[in-house]
Amino acid sequence: MSEQAVTIPGLAAMKARGQKIVVLTAYDASFARVLDEAGVDVILIGDSLGMVIQGQQTTLSAALDDMVYHSRCVARGASHALLLADLPFMSYPSPERAAENAARLIREGGAQMVKLEGGRCRTDIVRFLVSQNIPVCGHLGLLPQSIHHLGGYSVQGREAHAAQTLLEDALLLQEAGARLLVLECVPATLAEEVSRALEIPVIGIGAGPDCDGQVLVLHDMLGLSSGKRPRFVKDFLSEAGDIPSAIRAYVAAVRGGQFPAQEHSF
């Protein structure tokens, strides 16, 4: 692991030289320290905590106070990785509210970048946040905060029109100033097209091997989540024997292009 802290320009440089970006979620200082020591580039304090920490069926229960608290915990354990925090459900209904809540994640939670879901309908918010010096990561494809609207957790962008709309949304988010993009549960061919079209790094989860980096929920890749394991998840703990070794194996697999494999892609 490099002693130099990861920065947003540093992530762009990694994309430029073809180096895969490794992202994992964490929600407390102890796991953040393990991820940091393993060389994870970005730690995502995800609203997935609503499911894996709070035991809810969706991410919608995660409140802003929860996100600030867990971000603050992670910040105490990490010194190398860039800290990316989710803006939770209904915390960005307007540019002004988004800026106020993002400022809390940065000022109180120690985050260095915030993530929000949605495409062209969010460009005004992204543009305003960037104008206030708040770095933004977009999120397209499967949008967990829109789960009731979508009707379930399913692959997005299979149809030609939906794929074209997603590509256009990605370009619009980049034009608005987003510096990173997460693609969730989209066909691998579409994710590759988006990754090639964008100058900013694209991080995939269930989006095939050709994104600029990969992210998983920590509890999923350790085999700790309840219910059916998503197709795009691999249990790294079952082969590694202990948690630090499992995380190092994940880092090495993403860096070397071994993960995700075909069986983890759509």
Point out the residues that are catalytic.
Answer: 184
Q: Which residue has the tokens 């992530």?
A: 11
CB 123 within 8 A of CB 170: no
Closest CA to 140 of 121, 125, 124: 121
Report the first-to-last Cα separation within the chain, whole angstroms. 32
Closest CA to 14 of 261, 259, 255: 255
Q: Whole-angstrom Cα distance, residue 100 to residue 125?
A: 12
CA distances from 53 to 135, 216, 229 (A): 26, 15, 17
Q: Which residue has the tokens 């989540």?
A: 225
For 71-85, the DSSP string reads HHHHHHH-SSSEEEE
Q: Phi and psi at residue 91, in whole multiples of 5°?
A: -100, 0
Q: Whole-angstrom Cα distance, residue 225 to residue 55?
A: 10
Q: Which helix (H) or strand (E) holds 105?
A: helix 95-107
Angle between helix 243-256 and helix 29-38 axes, rounded to 10 deg:
50
Q: Which helix (H) or strand (E) holds 180?
A: strand 180-184
